[in-house]
Amino acid sequence: MTIDAFIDALPKVELHVHLIGSASVPTVLELSRRHPGSRVPVTEEELRDFYAFRDFPHFAEVYGAVNALVRTPEDVATLVLGLAADLAAQNARYVELTVTPYAHHVVGMPMREVTEALDLAARRSAGEHGVRVGYIFDIPGEYGAEAARVTLDHALQEPPQALVGFGMGGIEQERPHHRDAFRDAFRAATAAGLRSLPHAGEMSGPETIWEALDGLGAERIGHGIACLDDPRLVAYLRDTQIPLEVCPTSNVCTGQVAHISGHPLPRMLEEGLFVTLNSDDPPMFATTLSDEYRIAAGVFGLDRRALAGLARNAVNASCLDAEGRRGILAEIDALAEAPETT
């Protein structure tokens, strides 16, 4: 079995992928043609140019333009099912999909209809593609207290059956202006039984990660690559084994890392941190979850044992029930223990 064949066969879990960012190129083109007059191109060549990001604010602007094309609950369900099909083709078993209720709220979608679409899509994803779905509701941080309120209201009043977590994304530099509102929202969400799963340390420094840990009660960190700038934080993350959702291609595409060869993933592993591999917004970044494993092997030199370890980490860091985790871990172990040939 070659390393590529091993990666293809490896049972996978995706912990960090966004609903809007998971929209395939054909789906985005279909939506842009359906809703003429948007800023999103209507040809594949133009769309790929549209996805050439200058920096994170530019990425956020483009992401918002694509998000504005998702206007009905049917659109929401279509995106979930499309992602499930894509992940099934990569031998993925489970995904925790980040959904931003505020984005649907501002285009007038009722909470109940969005939830019904998410519930339907989760059932069909499992039944038609063999991919279980858990949802994370996230606050777009740059929209402040109003976004926190809308996200929390949806999570508490009309939660989809598969809702497992409460998160926060967006432009990290805006968070200090709304710190109390975000803390209050996370406190209420975790009191209701949701896991605290915010992004932090992607486009800002270690202080954002500390705030996620101390102020938001984070149980897992989205990205977290800035932790290496603070030895005390590295030691804390190593001692507590708080999982980090690392997305190498995303970090390059949004300008957080200059080149993939300089990505901090190898050092994070050397430091003994709990790392998982993820795709973030795969069509926008021209990647897949399997591609991230290929990068780990081809660019960073990880062998089969290390790749299987990353796959196990994702399972163990997930919100899956114990039985679900055991089943996927057994599959990973069986593959990892098979005779190796090249």
Which of 14, 172, 202, 292 is flagged as catalytic? 202
Instruction: Say if residues 99 and 75 touch (Cβ distance below 8 Å).
Output: no
Q: Using CA atoms, how far apart are residues 216 and 190, in angstroms rounded to an integer?
A: 9
128 is catalytic: no
Lookup: tokens for 95: 């995904």
Among residues 3, 135, 93, the alpha carbon closest in space to that of 312 is found at 93
Do 141 and 171 touch, CB atoms closer than 8 A? yes
Residues 6+ apart with CB under 8 A from 226: 201, 202, 204, 205, 206, 208, 209
Sequence-separated (6 or more) residues with CB below 8 Å from residue 164:
96, 134, 135, 136, 194, 195, 319
Residue in this structure with the two tokens 């795969």, named with its chain if needed: 282
Q: Tell the residue number behind the tokens 């019904």, with chain if given.
A: 116
Sorted by sequence, the CB contacts under 8 Å of residue 72 that are 6+ apart come out as 109
How many Å apart are CA 260 and CA 274, to the nearest integer?
20
Tokens of 291: 């591609």
- Residue whose entry in the numeric block shows the structure tokens 């994702």: 314
| CA-closest candidate to residue 199, choices 162, 180, 174, 231 | 174
Tally the C-alpha atoms within 13 A of residue 73's C-alpha that lie toward its C-beta: 13
State the catalytic residues: 202
